[in-house]
A = this chain, B = another copy of it.
Amino acid sequence: MEGVLITPLKRILHPKGDVLHGMKRSDAGYKGFGEAYFSTVHAGEIKAWKKHLRMTLNLVVPLGCIRFYLYDDRLESPSKGQGLRIELGEDHYARLTVPPGVWLAFEGLGPSVNLLLNVADMEHDPMEVERAEIDAFPLN
């Protein structure tokens, strides 16, 4: 999908506890720093849908597993009308970059804590977020 990146991330094993890469300012998808915050999503729950008008999201799942659903209804996008589904987490440790204008939903898959870090290029601003009901766009 146009502007969407999936970037594999390193997990560095350590006997006392691993180190997991997240985001570097020199990484693909980095658009500046505004805020880093966590969302959690319980097993079987879907948080849907949100679209950011200005924010680029950089999403990392260091714990559990989360399925992301993207839908592109950007007027001039080459991938307009397309959806994307991807699972990230401990078993597929990668960063998902979501540009402004793409609809996003996500579902908790892991039985315990499903933790999402967003390294966003701007601070939270409710004026740049649009919401839609879960049935507004296809989930697959």
Contact = CB atoms under 8 A, between A and B. Distances in A.
A55 interface: no
Interface string A33-56: 111111111100111000000000
A117 to B, nearest CB: 7
Interface of A: 16-26, 32-42, 45-47, 62-63, 108, 113-115, 117, 119, 123-124
Contacts of A114: 17
B19 A42 contact: no
The 8 closest A-B pairs by CB, nearest first: A33-B33, A17-B40, A17-B41, A16-B45, A20-B38, A22-B36, A24-B35, A22-B37
Contacts of A18: 39-40
